[in-house]
Amino acid sequence: MSVAEAEAAAQQAAEKAKWHREHLWAIGLLTRRGENTSHYTHRQIEKNKQNLMNATKVARRTARNLRKAKLKAQLQSNNPAPVLILNDAPWYNLVEEELVPSPSRAKSQRKTRRRRHRN
């Protein structure tokens, strides 16, 4: 796979994942306020969650493939320039950015706060 192909695939996958994330957000699943989503069946909601997870997985994989392709191209060009191409794809971060703070982190912060007050 050429770098250009990998780039196109990564871009496409990231946009797809972003679309799914925004769709879920619109449904009100990602908000913790518990908006009324009764016009969606439970099954539809689960399917949407699944779609988002899969799209994100694919986006991460394609971003990884892009980095590999770039690395390969770099190595094959016999160029002694630095080989470490890590996170220069702008859409790679698109996949990682989260619209919601992760609940696990909030939980751990709460724990440490409680611990601090005890002392």
Q: Residue 18 is which amino acid?
A: K
Give the pair of three-digit tokens for residue 55: 């799209």
pLDDT at 43: 79
What is d(CA 10, CA 6) in angstroms, rounded to the nearest whole number?
Answer: 6
Give the pair of three-digit tokens for residue 83: 């080989």
Per-residue pLDDT of the chain (119 residues; tens, 9 = 90+): 688 898 999 999 999 998 888 887 777 655 555 555 556 677 777 888 899 899 999 999 999 999 888 888 877 777 665 555 555 555 444 444 444 445 555 555 666 666 665 55
What is d(CA 86, CA 49) in angstroms, rounded to the nearest whole number?
Answer: 29
Three-state secondary structure call for residue 100: coil
Give the pair of three-digit tokens for residue 12: 């496409």
